Amino acid sequence: MANATPASIGRINSGGSEDALFLKVFAGEVLTAFERSSVTQGAEMVRAISSGKSASFPIMGRITAAYHTPGAEITGSDVNHNEKVITINDLLISSAFLSNIEEAKNHWDVRGAYSQEIGRALAFQKDKHVLQTMGQAAGGQSAATANFTGGDAGTVLTNANIASATAATAANAMIDELFNAASALDSHYVPKEGRKCFIRLEEYYKLANATNAVNIDFSGRANGGVADGKVMKVAGIELIPTPHFVTGNINSGVDQGSATQGGSNPQAVNLSNYVAIVAHPSAVGTVKLMDLAVESEYDIRRQGTLMVAKYAMGHGALRPEAAVGIKEA
C-alpha cells in the first residue's frame, strides 16, 4: 500500500524549514487561498440521476404553419424530435492529507480551510467544463451542429478590434459583438431571459471603463460605473467576469474530461482567441450522478486525516443555437 504524502503546512511554498510558518513568539497570520466561487451556477440545464451513467434530454423542433384548402382534411404537421444523451465523466476528486504532528503544531484551523479549498477546486473545474461545453455548442469544434433536422447551429463572431491596444477601440468592438450576439440569439428564437456572457477579465474591465457602457446618459445609473469597476449588462446580456475563462486548445489533462466513462474526452475543444461566450441555459445540459460532497476520515495507520471532495457529473451541448462565441482573431 502506497504511503500518503502529508501537506507541508509549516513550509513556505512547500520548501525550506518544516516549521517556517508555525506559531512563533511574535505570532503570525496565514492567508488562505482566495475564494474562487463558481460562476456557472444556473447557467445550464441540470438533471440529477440516482443511478446509471447517462441521462437523455428530449429535443423538439419547430412546428410549421400552412394555408388550409377548403374541404381538405387537416392531419397535423410533422414535428422533428431527437434526444441528447449526456454521459457522466469519471469520479473527480480533490484531496489533502493532514498528519497529526503537523496539525498539532499549527495555530489556525487548517482542517476547515483545507476542506473548503478542495471543495472550491472542484467547483472551479466544473465551471471550466461548463464553459468549454458552451464553447463546443457555439462552434469551438466541428461537432457543434444542430441536434435535430432543421435546427440551427451555434454562432462564432470575430472582431480583430477587440485586441486593439487602445482601450476605447477594444471596448467599442466588444460592445458591437455583444449586440451582434444578441441579434444572433434573437434570430434563433432564444429567450431573452437568462442570457449570460462569461467574459475574460481584460475585456470586462475595458467595458467597465467605456463611456457608452456605463455613462448615465446610456444606462440610467443602473449599469455600474468606473467607481465600482462594474458593468452589469450590454444588449440585455448579463456580464460575468470570469478569472478562469478558458482559452486555447483544450486537449489534455483533467480539463478535457475523462476518456473512460464520459467518452472520448467530452470537454475537449479549441477555444483559441476566444474572449467571451454568450449562452442561454438551454444551450448546455449537466447530468449529476454524485453532487459535490466533502468527507474526511482519520487514518490510525498513518496518524493523520484524509479529506476528499468529489463529484461525478457530465456535460453536453443541447441547443447549439443558444450559444455564441466571441473571438478577437
Specify the 3-state DSSP secondary structure of 160: helix
Domain assignment of residue 87, yes or no: yes
Q: How far apart are CA 224 and CA 169, in angstroms?
A: 20
Residue 187 within any structural domain of the chain = yes
255 belongs to a structural domain? yes
Rounded Cα distance between 122 and 268, Å, is 18
Q: Is 68 within the bounds of a domain?
A: no
- Is 155 contained in some domain? yes
Work out how many domains the chain is built from and give that number: 1
Tens of pLDDT, residues 304-324: 888 888 889 999 998 899 999
Q: Please state the pTM of the whole predicted model.
A: 0.82
CA neighbours within 13 Å on the CB side: how many for 259?
Answer: 6
Statement: residue 201 has pLDDT above 90: yes
Q: Is residue 8 part of a domain?
A: no
User: What is the reported pLDDT for 277?
Assistant: 96
Can you give the residue range of the structural domain that contains 227?
Answer: 45-58+80-327
Q: In whole angstroms, how far apart are CA 131 and each of 12, 126, 246, 275, 325?
A: 34, 9, 7, 12, 11
Q: How many CB atoms lie within 10 A of CB 259?
A: 13
Q: Give ∠ CA 202-207-211 in degrees, rounded to 5.
A: 145
- Quick check: is 183 in a domain? yes
Assess whether pLDDT exceeds 50 at residue 107: yes
Q: Exposed (0-12), middle (13-18) or buried (19+): which is 275, by Cβ within 10 Å?
A: buried
Give me the CATH number covering residue 131.
3.90.1690
- The DSSP code for 265 is -
pLDDT (tens digit per residue) in 24-38: 332 232 233 334 568
* Residue ranges in the chain assigned as alpha helix (H): 100-105, 110-135, 167-187, 201-208, 211-214, 216-219
